[in-house]
Structure 1
Amino acid sequence: MTVLSLTNLSKRFGSNHVLDGLELHIKKSEFVSILGPSGSGKSTLFHMIGGLLTPDEGTISLNEEKINGITGKISYMPQSPSLLPWRSILDNTLLGQELQGKTDESRAKEMLKVAGLGEYLNAYPHELSGGMKQRAAFIRALLSPQELMLLDEPFSALDELTRSDMQQWLLQIWEKHKPTILFVTHNIEEAILLSDRIVILSHRPAKIKEEVIVPFSRPRNEQLPLSEEFIHFRQKLHKLLQEENKQP
């Protein structure tokens, strides 16, 4: 079952042509990552899917419903946790549900406990580490009623060890709940470790240069990046990205 369909999607800002005829289809419970050169339009694409921008051409469909320019249809997690400082961690995770008029506090508490935040239900964001804030923000996105999650480089600001821990935690959460995820990252290794499929964007105006199926079975573990097969696959993707970064 296809959850998200992007058909012939194009976007310009004056003379700046950002996206050109982009086509992408994501199935239910699929984890798809987007890689591309800096400035290739990844954030613009997310803003269009979220309804903050309207495409000049093309159609964005969610479960076969056209959602061009319509907000509130997807769950979104930005680079920073964006937790409200005056709300407790529990109340922050319930925010998405509140906006839809229905909350499930018992499920939020259960998920926070699984994430190692059971002792911080009534704490405030400034009392948590960066990784803990990211976990709370991800649970907020996961608890939102929308079926599709957009994750925009959620681990980019974390140190290497915390980032690795968060990747493993996200893998465990995905295995349990199987949300449909579209994930933007600049980290090739991260994209391979987490994804079912990787979409490589071309230089601006962006089209899909290549779609690559990740050849590794699930569940995945932290030892996978050390394997010869993983290293070879990473080199292949790195070469594809290098070709795009050399474009004028």
Structure 2
Amino acid sequence: MVHLNVRNISQSFDEQKILKQINFSIDQGEFVSILGPSGSGKSTLFRIIGGIESPTSGDIILNDESIKNQPGSVSYTPQSPSLFPWRSVLDNVLLGQEIQGKRDRNTALQMIERAGLADYADAYPHELSGGMKQRVSFIRSVLSPQPLILLDEPFSALDEFTRTDMQQWLLSMWEEHKRSIIFVTHNIEEALFLSDRIIVLSNRPTSVQREITIPFKRPRNEDLLLSNDFLEFKKEIYKEMRASHLPS
């Protein structure tokens, strides 16, 4: 089981306050997106949850234990795929397991095949497109033993159609394995399509402005993007985020 508590997280750099009293929780099997304007500190918050950066104050609790300043407690995928250029696709996928002393080659090959990369298992990162590299990163995250996956704007560099294909692929992988996922994005449509819940962040100093439960049934497909209900939710969230940009 997974239960993550982000408790009163604040962060400042050179006396400039970036994050202010961030609080939220994630439960087993949830897909939760963190949505906020550019520069609101989304990636900073992710690095804190991932144990890569230390907060000015607050704590990160995973299953009743603090994981603050403990990298490796969750699976963290930054914006770039971060594949090792000297390792093949298969060896990159197995990296998280190897760190834990495991190597499930057969399962890795099955997931590589499902991702449409069967012909690239022995290829190297420089031989892959951007979408292919992202798929390799996702497979590595799913195969890693950590109970929670953090994905930091993984589709931001992809064109619209590739992005939609990757979103659907990610959902199919998540629905099969039911890992808990926190997904950072500034794209309202992407957050709506993927998530069970959306956490909307304010402008700096950043706090949780609103939490929104998404009612759309699963599995989801591309038709949802053009439905009236989807567009109404998109308008609502847009207005919420727009309000945070207006001068007080």
User: Normalised by the shorter chain, which TM-score bucket?
Assistant: over 0.9
Distance 2:247 2:150 in 1: 28
Matched, 1:169 2:186: no
Tell me if the contact between 2:2 and 2:148 (Cα under 8 Å) persists in the aligned partners.
no
Residue in 1 that maps onto 2:7: 7
Percent identity between the two aligned chains: 58
Residue in 1 that maps onto 2:66: 66
Equivalent residue of 2:232, what SS? helix
Residue in 2 that maps onto 1:36: 36
Tell me if the contact between 1:50 and 1:74 (Cα under 8 Å) persists in the aligned partners.
yes
Equivalences for residues 118-137 of structure 1 within 5 A: 118-137=118-137
- Give the Å deviation of 1:203: 1.2
Residue in 1 that maps onto 2:139: 139
Post-superposition CA distance 1:101-122 (Å, at most 9, x none): 2111111111101111111111
Give the aligned residue type for 1:17: K
> Residues 136 and 46 (structure 1 numbering): CA distance in 2 closer, same or farther, change over 3 Å?
same
Give the aligned residue type for 1:85: P
Distance 1:12 1:2 in 2: 29
Residue in 2 that maps onto 1:153: 153
Equivalences for residues 198-209 of structure 1 within 5 A: 198-209=198-209
Distance 1:119 1:110 in 2: 12
Equivalences for residues 98-137 of structure 1 within 5 A: 98-137=98-137
Give the aligned residue type for 2:125: P
> Residues 73 and 2 (structure 1 numbering): CA distance in 2 closer, same or farther, change over 3 Å?
closer
Give the aligned residue type for 1:21: Q
Distance 1:75 1:2 in 2: 13
Residue segments in structure 2 that go unaligned for 5+ positions in a row: none
TM-score (norm 2): 0.97
Distance 2:98 2:30 in 1: 27
Tell me if the contact between 2:35 and 2:199 (Cα under 8 Å) persists in the aligned partners.
yes
Distance 2:88 2:5 in 1: 36
Distance 2:32 2:43 in 1: 15
Distance 2:219 2:184 in 1: 21
Residues paired across the two proteins, number:
248
> Please, which moves more after superposition, 223-232 or 12-21?
12-21
Give the aligned residue type for 1:190: E
Tell me if the contact between 2:2 and 2:180 (Cα under 8 Å) persists in the aligned partners.
no
- Give the Å deviation of 1:14: 2.3
Residue segments in structure 1 that go unaligned for 5+ positions in a row: none
Post-superposition CA distance 1:14-62 (Å, at most 9, x none): 2110111111100010000011122111111111111111222211101
Distance 2:123 2:203 in 1: 44
- Give the Å deviation of 1:191: 0.3
Residue in 2 that maps onto 1:27: 27
Give the aligned residue type for 2:80: S
- Give the Å deviation of 1:247: 4.0
Equivalent residue of 1:223, what SS? helix
Residue in 2 that maps onto 1:222: 222
Tell me if the contact between 2:2 and 2:147 (Cα under 8 Å) persists in the aligned partners.
no
Residue in 2 that maps onto 1:185: 185
Distance 1:3 1:123 in 2: 37
Tell me if the contact between 1:203 and 1:247 (Cα under 8 Å) persists in the aligned partners.
no
Give the aligned residue type for 2:117: L
Tell me if the contact between 1:2 and 1:25 (Cα under 8 Å) persists in the aligned partners.
no
- Give the Å deviation of 1:2: 5.2
Tell me if the contact between 1:51 and 1:67 (Cα under 8 Å) persists in the aligned partners.
yes
Residue in 1 that maps onto 2:51: 51
Residue in 2 that maps onto 1:87: 87
Distance 1:81 1:53 in 2: 19
Distance 1:27 1:7 in 2: 15
Distance 1:40 1:161 in 2: 27
Give the aligned residue type for 2:59: T
- Give the Å deviation of 1:11: 1.2
Distance 1:45 1:141 in 2: 19
